[in-house]
Amino acid sequence: MFSDKDIAHFSNLETPFYYYDLNLLKETLKACNNAANAYNFHVHYAMKANFNDKVLKEIKAIGFGADCVSGGEVKKAIETGFTNGKVVFAGVGKSDKEINYALDQDIFCFNVESLQELQVINELAEKKQKIAKVAIRINPNVDAHTHANITTGLDENKFGINSWDMPACADILNISANLEFVGIHFHIGSQITNLDVYKNLCVRVNEFAAWFEDKGFKIKILNVGGGLGIDYHHPNAQIPAFEAYFKIFADFLEVKPYQEVHFELGRALVGQSSSLISRVLYVKNGKKKNFIVLDAGMTELMRPALYQAYHQIENISPSTTGVTVKYDVVGPICESTDCFGKEVALQETFRNDLIAIRSTGAYGEVMASKYNLRDAIVTVTSDDI
């Protein structure tokens, strides 16, 4: 929700921009931290969701680690002040340059996604006379029941090492003098709202943990990934169900006294904290369709074009007619997919009205592009008002 003061401030700003409610972000982080601490769980923030400097500052301040999927994200985490010993480097295609940088930073762990990657990290660590801590990312073949483009835990997905390669994986670990095996890692998808899916994941984690320990490996870390979703249809129900989420793992995961349970949460921490604020450029009323053309487009928010993702759209300018009209809400980009919503019921809308596209804190700003030579998106935070 936006106050009259917020809207008055927005009216004086050039659009489009991302607005971050830092107070809501802090509340969300605190709720997650309290729920995780109840079970001594460890949380790493998935930096790919949002790496805005002010957002990262709040996440670092609460003590979370950083889950990175590129060398650039590792570098950003270190430069932002995340403790090196809480930085994890995942990703299916780590380059030698990225691995070498992470080795030089003495990060906590590499989450390794292929047999060949294991061998490469061992070779690069040997050249630096270092020991690289590694966790094996396993593809558990668990259906996350989410959008096909953000499912990562099935046999058909590119992520992780498949179960039939586990014996070869164990052999490589046994002969690799510059690797320290610390645990196993899983991530089955994103925007998961059916928490029962995580019960199935726990079963698979228990099975793989037992398999490795039967082979003589001591597993210190059970990293179950993240993927907890948010309610895009009700953005004012702002704090995700962290207690219920963590309780599933506490109830169904078999954790030995010497083991730690790690999570990689992104969207759930930052998704509801931001909205994309845009102005109406033109209203085009037709016989079959009414269009609102915004000054924000898919260059600012890619998710609807990429995933057919839903975001609640609101006209936050004062209503003048009290009439409701259905509009297709589109952007200015020269692509037919540049559409935020079809047949969206809004108060009758006019040129220069302010439109808020809600729940854009995750995979919004970070996926922005300069296609069509658009200006770079800017950000405004609640402490600016």
**pLDDT tens figures, 148-167:** 443 443 445 556 898 889 99
Which amino acid is located at 205 in the chain? V
pLDDT digits (tens, 9 = 90+) for 188-217: 888 999 999 999 999 999 999 999 999 999
Domain 22-271 fold = TIM Barrel (3.20.20)
Strand pairing category for 274-285 and 290-294: antiparallel
Hey, what CATH class is 4-17+272-384 in? mainly beta
Phi, psi of 296 (to 5 degrees): -100, 145
Enumerate the domain spans of the chain: 4-17+272-384, 22-271
| Average pLDDT value for the chain | 93
Give the per-residue pLDDT at 142: 64
The closest of 154, 159, 161, 148 to 119, measured between CA atoms, is 161
Question: What average pLDDT does the segment 309-327 reach?
Answer: 94
Question: What average pLDDT does the segment 119-137 reach?
Answer: 98
Give the per-residue pLDDT at 286: 78
pLDDT digits (tens, 9 = 90+) for 216-261: 999 999 999 999 999 999 999 789 999 999 999 999 999 999 999 9
115-127 vs 96-104: helix crossing angle, rounded to 10: 50
Whether 4-17+272-384 shares its CATH topology with 22-271 is answered: no
96-104 vs 71-80: helix crossing angle, rounded to 10: 20
* CA 161 to each of CA 131, 153, 279: distance values in angstroms, whole numbers, following the listed order: 21, 10, 46
